[in-house]
Each structure stands twice: as C-alpha cells, then as structure tokens.
C-alpha cells in the first residue's frame, strides 16, 4: 500500500492506496500533522510514501514520514509520466505535476485541459503526444472575495454564493455576480479557446470548488474530486514499477 500526502498552506490531505484504489482518506490541520498521521496509517501495511508540498511543511514534519517509510519528495527532478515542455520546470508547482500525471494515466492519447479550482484556479494543457505545454494561474473564488474586501475601503467580505441572475440589485449581489459569474465565464471562455486553438477534447475539473462550478459550466467536463491524489499515487507507483 502507498501513503499519499498533499500539503497545502493550512491543511494536509492524506490517502492510502492499494495499487490504484483509494481505501482511506483524511484531511489534517498542518500543525497537527505529525500526531495525527500515526493513527491514520496504523491500520494499513504502508510500503512507501510520497509528499507533495506547496505549503509550509517543516523539515521535521517531512522527516517524521521519512523515518517510517521510504519516501519520495516530489520535485521537478522526479521522473514524470509525460514530457515536460514548461520553460521553467523548476518553478512548476508539484500539484500541477500531479494533475498532469493523473491525466497522462487516465486519458492517454487525448488533448487535455486540467482545471484545478482551489485557492488559485490553475489551467494545465497536455497534448495527445504526451507533451505538457503549460497553462495559466488565476485567482480562485475565495481569493477574489477576500481581495475585494481587503483592497477596498467599504466592500464587505461575503461567503461564497452562486447568484441566480447576472444583474446584482444590491452591493452584496453585485459582488456575488462579479465573483461567481465572472469565474464561470472565465472557465467557459478558456475551455472554448483551448478547444478552438489546440483541439482539446477532454476537460477535467477538480479541486475544492468543483461541485459549486460544475453545475454552471456550459462546457462538458469530467469532475474528479481525487484527481491530484491519483496522480501522486501514479508517480509513486512508477518509482518501482
């Protein structure tokens, strides 16, 4: 079995895979990661682990995993199941590497666009020949709400809400329309352009805001809530396969 660890800025997502099947999943607060990990893995015969960190995982926290299991720390030097044509591969986020790896396994021979809707919205394009070309990084939903509040004098900080109409008849509804309708139109517009310019025929939507957004997009997408974890598992399995 494989232990998958995906470190964000405040939370750590962990999972146990038996070959390609996820058998357990747990989200932990980053400060309590070490003390929570032992109880999570105790019931499973874990043979190896992978750590993907875009957050502030300390050397001590990483070492606590390395002392228990053979551990792969994902980086731009890791062997990947696609050809990386990114101009600055050392700056490519490990989360984006994992998403492209998941696509390469699940949809070989397809022109694909992977959209990860989380703190940021990332767009990643891999062609049918298995070449990763790059993509885009955009502010995510909560980042947009927070920026409107923090960078203006009078706009309130609101909870996420999908409006029923585009015309906001109050300041709050105008903010909801600007953020939520704006995100939906952005994603649909980018999908349309990738289809038109690059023949994209498979679009993946993943990340924390998948459920909120998937119902409003006009384009056909495949929603995969565990796509990143599956990509990390694939990268790890390839180290010995």
Residues with catalytic roles: 95
Q: Where are the beta strands (DSSP E) in the chain?
A: 2-7, 11-18, 21-29, 48-53, 71-73, 83-84, 112-117, 120-126, 131-139, 202-206, 222-223
Closest listed residue to residue 98, CA positions, set 126, 71, 70, 119: 126
Give Cα 80 distance to the centre of its chain.
17
* 210 contacts: CB under 8 Å, gap ≥ 6: 117, 223, 224, 225
Answer positive or negative: Cα dihedral of 89, 91, 96, 102.
positive
C-alpha to C-alpha distance for 135 and 190, rounded to whole angstroms: 10
C-alpha to C-alpha distance for 40 and 29, rounded to whole angstroms: 13
Point out which residues pair with 206 in neighbouring strands.
116
Q: Where are the beta strands (DSSP E) in 118-187?
A: 120-126, 131-139
- Kindly state the tokens that stand for 213: 């957004």
Q: 150 with 133: CB under 8 angstroms?
A: no
């Amino acid at each position: 079995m494989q232990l998958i660890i995906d470190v964000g800025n405040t939370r750590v997502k962990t999972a146990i895979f038996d070959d390609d099947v996820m058998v357990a999943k747990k989200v932990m607060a980053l400060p309590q990661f070490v003390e929570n990990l032992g109880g999570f893995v105790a019931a499973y015969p874990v043979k190896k682990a992978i750590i993907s960190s875009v957050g502030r995982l300390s050397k001590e926290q990483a070492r606590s995993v390395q002392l228990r299991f053979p551990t792969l720390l994902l980086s731009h030097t890791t062997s990947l199941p696609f050809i990386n044509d990114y101009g600055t591969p050392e700056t490519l986020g490990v989360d984006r590497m994992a998403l492209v790896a998941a696509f390469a396994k699940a949809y070989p021979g397809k022109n694909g666009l992977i959209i990860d809707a989380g703190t940021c919205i990332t767009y990643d394009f891999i062609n049918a020949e298995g070449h990763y070309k790059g993509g885009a990084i955009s502010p995510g939903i909560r980042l947009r709400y927070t920026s409107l509040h923090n960078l203006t004098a009078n706009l309130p900080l609101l909870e996420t809400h999908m409006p029923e109409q585009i015309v906001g008849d109050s300041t709050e509804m105008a903010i909801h329309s600007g953020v939520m309708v704006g995100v939906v139109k952005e994603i649909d517009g980018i999908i349309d352009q990738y289809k038109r310019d690059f023949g994209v025929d498979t679009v993946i939507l993943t990340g924390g805001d998948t459920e909120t957004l998937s119902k409003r997009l006009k384009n056909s997408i495949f929603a995969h809530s565990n796509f990143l974890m599956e990509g990390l598992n694939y990268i790890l399995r390839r180290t010995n396969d």
